[in-house]
Structure 1
Amino acid sequence: MTAPQIVHTAYLEPATRTELRALLDEAFDGEFSDEDWSHTLGGLHALIRAADGRIIGHGAVIQRRLLHGGRALRTGYLEGVAVRAGHRGQGHGAALLAALEDIVHRAYDLGALSSSDDAHAFYAARGWQRWRGPTSVLTAEGPARTADDDGGVYVLPVGAPAGPPLDLGGALSCDWRDGDVW
């Protein structure tokens, strides 16, 4: 298996963007919205290609601010992590995560993602920890609870800046964005 190629959104050719969007639409069974696509852009992408050059795996790290314990944490947030059907169970997801986690460790205070129920065990086995406390989003009117997201947010502590340690049972807030905020 080849190592994932790392490419910033700015350097993705239009045809590659089109191929990525099609992969994500397929992998998420048509549930990958325009907002989800927008959330995936603007950071670093890990791409795995088959021998014929087709993209068979993708994941992105974008920067977000998460608030916890009175601190704003620079967070490498994972988006659009998927492996094409027929190529799953062959280590491609682990290779993608290894590359994305390396980026998080090198550039951020914390890693975070919102996981589908099917992927909880995958992330937990890699050291990602389920956020057990209440989640919310910062809106123009102030924080708003996102109770439907409780239990689906995972974090990867990577040596947060000086201050109190993470309290996985404490409150966690994300910055606002259209569509799914987590």
Structure 2
Amino acid sequence: MTDIRAAHTADLDPITTKAVRTLLWDVFEEMPEQDWDHCLGGIHVLAREGAELIGHASVVQRQLVHGGRALRAGYVEAVAVHGDHRRRGIGGLMMAEIERVVRGAYDLGALGASDVGAAMYESRGWQRWQGPTSALTPAGVERTPEEDGGVFVLPVDVPLDLTGEITCDYREGDLW
């Protein structure tokens, strides 16, 4: 039986935090420190079977600009399921909890998807952003054409023009 639990970063004990870091390193074969930092400070959804951590996803607050408005976004990070437990619906269970948090606390959900993950997000109602992507950087707003087509959103209450421009706030490392 898979147990799904949500907890804020502040409520993770050191053993759980280390287990999450180890899982992410194993699944992604490497986890740069900046990417690790991106998944902290928000809500973590943990999937366990018994004492074993087999899955993780987190949602952190970011600000996105679209249509002349600053939007409070629940940005999804570090979605991972241990290789021995894939294709059993665990990713979907974790995303259901992430989506509950997004719908209850944010104007929209957003994430940058890999080619492998895109199908799961689309099947759950996430929509591919079709317009140009940009980032607010210390040098000003800069286009991020390498991210075009890889950003997905989960609309909540704010009308979105998926063909318009969307700009994310700045952070070290991967901007999206």
What TM-score range do you get, normalising by the shorter chain?
over 0.9
Partner residue of 2:65?
67
Q: Please point out which of 170, 174, 179 is paired with 2:173.
A: 179
- Local SS of the residue matching 2:77: strand
- Which residues of 2 match residues 81-160 of structure 1 at below 5 A? 81-160=79-158
Q: Alpha-carbon deviation of 1:139?
A: 1.3
Partner residue of 1:44?
43
Percent identical across equivalent pairs?
A: 53
Q: Alpha-carbon deviation of 1:50?
A: 1.1
Q: Alpha-carbon deviation of 1:3?
A: 4.5
Question: Cα RMSD (Å) of the superposition?
Answer: 0.9
**Number of residue-to-residue matches in the alignment:** 176
What's the CA shift string for 1:125-160, capped at 9, x where partnerless? Answer: 000000011101001221001111111000000112
- Local SS of the residue matching 1:4: strand
Q: Please point out which of 65, 78, 81 is paired with 1:80.
A: 78
- Please tell me the residue identity of whatever aligns with 1:150: D
User: Unaligned 5+ residue runs, structure 2?
Assistant: none
- Please tell me the residue identity of whatever aligns with 1:71: R
Provide the C-alpha distance between the structure 1 equivalents of 2:174 and 2:22, rounded to a whole number of angstroms: 20
Over 4 Å off, 4+ runs: none
- Local SS of the residue matching 2:167: strand
Is the 2:66–2:166 contact (alpha carbons within 8 Å) kept by the matching residues of 1?
yes
Provide the C-alpha distance between the structure 2 equivalents of 1:108 and 1:26, rounded to a whole number of angstroms: 30
Residues 16 and 3 from structure 1, CA distance in 2 versus in 1: closer, same or farther, beyond 3 angstroms?
A: closer
Task: Output the TM-score relative to the length of structure 2.
Answer: 0.97
- Please tell me the residue identity of whatever aligns with 2:161: D
Q: Does 1:18 align with 2:18?
A: yes
